[in-house]
Structure 1
Amino acid sequence: MAETPSLAGDGRAMLIYRLLGETYGIRAWTPRREPLHELISTMLSHRTTEANEAKAFDQLWARFGSWEAIAAAEPAEIAQAIAPANFAEAKAPRIKAVLKQIIAERGAPSIDFLADLPVEEGMAWLESLPGVGPKTASLVLLFCFHKPVLPVDTHVHRVSGRIGLIGPKVNAEQAHNLLAAQLPDDADVLWNFHLNMLHHGQRICVWERPRCGKCSLREHCDYGRAHGRQPEAAQ
């Protein structure tokens, strides 16, 4: 029987991409939300669930009805509206500051101009906004403008570390460039890689008790091999 070829570096990341594609599918890119909505919702999403993020945004918009009104509101009023999201008191002044800066710099509550900027310039501009880091910036550029960047959220970071695509001491911010360097500079590939790693982290490679026996990646995963997990019987 032939030996399994080396899977280090780019080849291993692309193998994971293909296996996840077989498990969850490969989709054609479509924009998810209006860009400024995407930016603010992503800020709301930090350390909270998707359901609470959506509820917080809906309440924010129902109360104020425009970006200008949110930018003009007191942080305490914003915090009250976004209460379903965790850490509302910390997120509210950042949301207000971001909207004020965008309106002051661009003359309108819009970030559509990012479509015409190179990736590096778009990332730098977004990260100049209060409370916006590489995860939020890359997610906006990829999901809204089809730019070839890779967002690394908690699920992508955890799954990548367990597989061995990044080292155990690599934090989520460092992982953006390290993972992107192992994949083609292709927005469609990066979009599907992000989505499928996210799904895998939510369904199989969960934080507390990873379901290695049901994992399509287990033969190529450092964690799975080290823990000797066996396939689970079909249910």
Structure 2
Amino acid sequence: MPEGRRVREILEILDRTYPDARTALHFNNPFQLLVAAILSAQTTDRQVNSITDRLFRHYRRPEDFARLNPEELAREIQGCGLYRNKSKNIIATSRILVEKYNSRVPDRLEELESLPGVGRKTANVVLNVAFGRPTIPVDTHVFRVSHRLGLARSKTPEKTEEELVSLIPEERRRAAHHQLIAHGRQVCTARSPRCPACPLAHLCPEGK
């Protein structure tokens, strides 16, 4: 089967299988999404939501976080991995947003990546979810599933993102990101993938 046709069929099946796929993170505005995305590094979305559901009742805006010291915030988020470092980054980012961006989250990749604690994946999550941009953030699920399906072969998330962007039409990228994550969580798991139940098995080089 020609590669272009195979990619189209993969995307069509993902559309049918996960029509409502979206981020699992809880948030009410771009700033809260940014905080949640920073917290999500090496932490499950469920654990992040447990923390932010409580945290955002008391601290909602960049100004609220900017007034905290790292020890105060660390106590609030200690249920997640690397919480001390994340506390420092969230406070530093909040202060930059207040001082430089009038408390608004920037909507450009370069500006987002310049914020403490914000890498390319986190920046792309904010652009995709909060601003509706056609980005493909590459987390562990997207990386694993795209490689198993033969959509990418690179060894880094950055190069994998480039490969996916070259294959997936712009209008499909936002949805494809969430659908690949859903597939990675529900079927194409890291250990013991459910290949017999996979709707993409016939298109997968590693399908069993």
Q: When the two structures are superposed, what TM-score results if normalisation uses the length of structure 1?
A: 0.80
Match of 1:194 among 168, 173, 177: 177
Partner residue, 1:117: none
Q: Would the aligned equivalents of 1:33 and 1:144 in 2 still touch at CA under 8 Å?
A: no
User: Aligned partners of 2:39, 2:158: CA distance in 1, in Å?
Assistant: 18
**How far did residue 49 of structure 1 move?**
1.5
In 2, distance between residues paired with 1:173 and 1:133?
11
- What corresponds to 2:50 in structure 1? 55
Contact 1:141-1:149 within 8 A present in 2 as well: yes
Q: Residue 168 of structure 2 aligns to a residue in which SS? A: coil
Q: 1:155 aligns with which of 124, 128, 141?
A: 141
**C-alpha distance in 2 between matches for 1:39 and 1:26:** 22
Task: Indicate the structure (1 or 2) with the bigger Cα radius of gyration.
Answer: 1
**Residue 175 of structure 1 pairs with residue 160 of structure 2:** yes
Aligned residues: 204
Asked if the contact 1:59/1:82 (under 8 Å) is kept, the reply is no
Percent sequence identity over aligned pairs: 31
**Paired amino acid for 2:89:** R
Task: Tell me if 1:145 matches 2:143.
Answer: no
| Counterpart residue number, 1:21 | 15
Match of 2:84 in 1: 89
Equivalent position of 2:169 in the other structure:
184
Q: Is 2:202 the counterpart of 1:208?
A: no
The normalised TM-score by structure 2 is 0.90
Segments of 5+ residues of structure 2 without an aligned counterpart are none
State the Cα deviation string for residues 128-171 of structure 1 (Å, max 9, x = none).
1112111111111111111121111111111001111111x421
Would the aligned equivalents of 1:60 and 1:78 in 2 still touch at CA under 8 Å?
A: no
User: What 5-or-longer segments of structure 1 have no aligned partner?
Assistant: 115-121, 230-235
Q: What amino acid is the match of 1:89?
A: R
Secondary structure of 1:223 counterpart:
coil
